[in-house]
Chains A and B, each alone.
Chain A
Amino acid sequence: MSRALSIGVAAVTAVLLGVAWLGWIPGVTSSTITATALRALALMGLNLIFGVVGMLAFGQAAFMALPAYFAGIMDRMGVPLLIALPLALTMVVLLARAVAEVLVRLPGVYLAVGTLGFGMVVEGLARAFPSWTGGASGLVFEHGRNFGTNVWCAIAVVSLAFGVGCYVWYVRGAVWRRLRAIRHDELAASVLGIDVHREKAKIFTIGSAYSAVGGLLLFHYVGVLIPEDAGVVRSLEQIGTLLLGGAGFLVGPIVGAFLVDWFFVISGYAARYELVIYGATFLLVVMYAPQGVSGLLLRPWKRLAGDKAEKAPVVEIRHSVAAVSSDSRVSGRPCLLLHNVTQSFGGVHALVDISLDVKAGEVFTLVGPNGAGKTTLFNIVSGVLRPTSGRTLLDGVDITDLPVHRRAALIGRSFQTPRLVPELSVLANVVLRVDQLSPKLSEQARQAIALEQLRMFELENLSYLSVAEVGLGQRKLIDIARAAVGNPPIVLLDEPAVGLTSAELMHLSEMIRKLKRQGCAVVIVEHNIEFVSNIADRGIVLDSGREIARGTVRDIMAEESVKAAYFGALS
């Protein structure tokens, strides 16, 4: 969602809040607004973590309750409120940071289990130490009573506005693209140069800080905190609220919190049908409006507005292209070296003792049937896998232990099925790569570089289309153009010709030649023999992880063993 649109919707929400405050919406008073605004503020954290980045965090309620517990305990010890509140927040943010360090590495369901467990531990501890936490009967906060309803309403709305402001300021441009790339495909994101774990840890911490501020204020407003408030049921309720509002949208948490609170106020009239109505509404939303109410509301608007917001005028800064390009390289210099690389998974050998030397300015091909180990080799070069033994050298530097995202500037990689972020425009997908290579440039400069890159590969007419509007062949070409941003010494292409029309094949050949002229070493895996014979200089033939031939393309294609292993397998 574009920023202008978000601000527009935020403004409409503000107006609605104003209308609600004046008492024009049945069931809404300034006290409901206070609770709604504070819950929305806390939900913005879950929205960042779960809605925007897609981490299954099942323990955010604990991050709401913890700062209130810390502040309450300090208050009992006699620490003044003005010290206790910031101190409690700091402690929770540090704790969130530590939890993130351990948990964000966990994939999908395991992250859910870990965060759920965290919530249960906090709930259990709160119950187990009643002399500190008030136990199951609850911890009472006296200070909140010092403020009247309208003061609280103002505190809540200002805090929410501040939270929205920080969000709009932070989650835009490069950050937004990066987060959506992680959500869509972590592997592709790290190959582009994004430090996925660090980004996720950062978002988990920032999101938990939102939860902490919202929770700290909310429980001081409510006046009592019980252990269940930290538990898994509350966390699940929050996820439900967010989905109803629209996960991933700036206004999703606000819409969700408002709808749930409003439903809660008016549901008194539904009496015993309340749960059925809630269940049915929730089911309808997840089945027919997976983007929540915000998604429903924004859809017609988006259609009207088109995606004009993304077509911000791009200032031409041609010279900055050089800023990301590496020095022009001398063709023929050894570039990528693999020394005796072996990779085994459990007892299975995927690659056995493979050595390679690829020179700058040449096209090198990996040939072999399915399961020969070609993709494994790509994964080793790009750093997704660490070889069981052997070394990888690039321009004479040992990169074997370098993590994926740190070698991304040196290695561009395209995938067999292009891994573009579907909700971003073609241009934004390319900018995503520029973001990682030259983070210090301005947004405009980065856009200009990306546009220049598309222009160089004659794809600029696609720039402002969304990925969904582009054909598969063109997506593959875009993926390759993106991999080649910044002229990396090595470009890895995984079956680039599959699924391309003959016109697109010519386009592809032209792109590869261009890369070659710029001094890139292009390593290519491809089954289209005619295409490979025309484009590649040298190659290696693999079968079941072992090298069976190497040399110029002409030579290896003539080998009997290759014909047997390769063409045999194909036919």
Chain B
Amino acid sequence: MNPLTQSLISGLMSGAVYALLAVGLVLAFHTTRVVNLAHGESFAIGGLVAATLADAGLPAYVFAPVAIAASVLFLLAVERFLLRPRRSWPIGNLILVTLAAAFLTRGVLQLAMGVDPLSFPRMFTGAPFRIAGGVLPPQGLALIVIGVTTAVAVTLFLLFTPLGRKLRAVAENPDAAELLGVNVDRARSLAFGIAGALGGLSAVLLVPLVSVDYQAGLGMTLRGFIAAALGGMAPATVILAGLGLGLSEALVTNYAGALAQDPIVFIALIAVAVWQSRKIAFGGTGRA
């Protein structure tokens, strides 16, 4: 085995997960200005629902769509019942509402699904691919390909379709968008729905390779948030940021060891945050 090739493969796998989570966070951020801290719960819900249904003997073509649907419903509910009635609230308070939603979801999942970690069978099985001394299981390939393709597709949709442009108009100025005939509520529902689908999809793709439990949500939110922040919360760059983060973590682990990972990666993160915000003054209101 070649450790370098294996690092690149492993880095792409976790990078694809980072990218999927980050795109979901960015979608919500761009329509509501809210960093949705309950985003990772869509991963936990998707993973736990899929695992429970798989344990009940249902096949993948049943449990995967149902799990994704559960994630979609969850984030739609967060938008509809928690955020929409509080549109006029300061952003900071809304972020805290999503944090509270995450805490409550965690508690409910503990009661409903138990505390033990769960997993379910892979959808993509068969002999692993061997590339230049590295090994990639079919499920890992699916994770990279489906993950990155979906993230890119959502980005293209945002940038180049009339509906995507409407979503972004909502982000820039909700009142103006409303005047231009965009239904802001519907746009936000759509954004949260897609974000939920991405969260559920990442669970369906990743969980067979690891495990999921009731408290997985906040950790996943944190991963997505780090990638999203690295990418400046912009839809196209967060995918690169996610992949870059995954690859750099893998390479640091390979060359410097797992203990060096956090200090090195997070010092880089601080440097990027400082560099990215060098021109923004006054809490982002510099162009007043």
Contacts and interface: CB of A to CB of B under 8 A. Distances in A.
Nearest to A274: B107
Nearest to A279: B104
B101 interface: yes
Sorting the interface of chain A by its residue count into under 10, 10 to 19, 20 to 34 or 35 or more gives: 35 or more
Nearest to A102: B274
Interface in B173-197: none
A276 B283 contact: no
B111 A113 contact: no
Contacts of A567: none
Interface stretch (B2-10, B92-100, B147-155): B92-100
A121 B263 CA distance: 4
Contact of A283 (B103, B111, B226, B281): B103
B106 A279 contact: yes
Contacts of B263: 121, 124-125, 128
B103 A106 contact: no
Nearest to B105: A279
A371 to B, nearest CB: 13
Interface stretch (B44-52, B121-129, B203-211, B265-273): B265-273
Interface string A255-283: 00000000000000000111111111011
Contacts of A280: 104, 107
B226 A107 contact: no
Nearest to A125: B263
The winner among B108, B260, B283 for most chain A CB atoms within 10 A is: B283
B266 to A, nearest CB: 4
Given A113-B226, A123-B262, A384-B286, A275 B96 contact: no
B288 interface: yes
Interface string B188-228: 00000000000000000000000000000010001001100
A125 B99 CA distance: 28
Given A272-B110, A283-B104, A117 B96 contact: no
Interface string A53-86: 0101000000000000000000000000000000
Interface string A112-128: 11101110110111011
Given A113-B269, A187-B285, A282-B103, A128 B259 contact: yes
A113 B275 CA distance: 12
Contact of A113 (B92, B218, B273): B273
A124 B266 contact: yes
A127 B89 CA distance: 40
B107 A190 contact: no
Contacts of B280: 107, 110
Interface in B55-113: 82, 86, 89, 92-93, 96-97, 99-101, 103-108, 110-111
Nearest to B268: A117
Contacts of B89: 290
A127 B288 contact: no
A117 B101 contact: no
Contacts of A110: 229, 273-274, 276-277, 280
B169 interface: no
Contacts of B218: 233, 236
A56 B283 contact: no
A338 B103 CA distance: 56
A187 B286 contact: yes
Nearest to B101: A283
A55 to B, nearest CB: 10
A186 B285 contact: yes
23 contacts: A106-B274, A109-B35, A117-B266, A117-B267, A121-B262, A123-B262, A124-B259, A128-B260, A128-B263, A186-B283, A236-B218, A273-B107, A275-B103, A276-B107, A276-B110, A278-B103, A278-B107, A279-B103, A282-B99, A283-B104, A286-B100, A290-B93, A290-B96
Interface of A: 54, 56, 102-103, 105-110, 112-114, 116-118, 120-121, 123-125, 127-128, 185-187, 190, 196, 232-233, 236, 240, 243, 272-280, 282-283, 285-287, 290, 375, 379, 384-385, 415
Given A113-B229, A375-B288, 8 more contacts: A102-B274, A117-B267, A127-B259, A190-B282, A276-B104, A282-B99, A384-B282, A385-B286
The 4 A-B pairs with the shortest beta carbon distances in the complex, nearest first, are A124-B262, A279-B104, A275-B107, A276-B107
